[in-house]
Amino acid sequence: MTVIRRRVLAHGRVQGVFFRDSTREEAERLDVAGWVRNTEQGTVEAVFEGDPDEVDALVWFMRSGPESADVVRVDVDEEEPEGLQRFEVRA
């Protein structure tokens, strides 16, 4: 199986709207490993590793986020996979 890794940074009203937990739920549903966290700059940062189609689906999810979010921009970078095995919400 081909595994890809993407680092995603969501800008806008993305903190305090259950963005991290919604991302975790979607990642677990899609069987994608990685993590998500709030940053001090007011953004949400996430890393996704897994099947290319599933990772792409999560990147698209980050473009809108949960219903109460207002995402204005998403930055996506390709990275080399590290072999992550599960998904976690980081503080």
Domain ranges of the chain: 4-78
Task: Report the pLDDT value the prediction gives residue 1, as an integer from 0 to 100.
Answer: 79
Q: Is 63 a catalytic residue?
A: no
| pLDDT value at residue 34 | 98
The encoded tokens of residue 85 equal 């095995």
DSSP string, 27-91: HHHHT-EEEEEE-TTS-EEEEEEE-HHHHHHHHHHHTT-STT-EEEEEEEEEE------SEEEE-
Chunked into runs of 10 residues, the chain (91 residues) has average pLDDT values of: 96 97 97 98 98 98 96 98 97 84
Clarify whether 90 is annotated catalytic. Answer: no
Report pLDDT for 79: 98
pLDDT at 54: 98
User: Of these residues, 5, 6, 20, 24, which one is catalytic?
Assistant: 20
The pLDDT, as a whole number, for residue 56 is 98
Q: Which of 38, 73, 86, 90 is catalytic?
A: 38
Specify the CATH architecture of the domain 4-78. 2-Layer Sandwich (3.30)
Per-residue model confidence (pLDDT) at position 23: 98
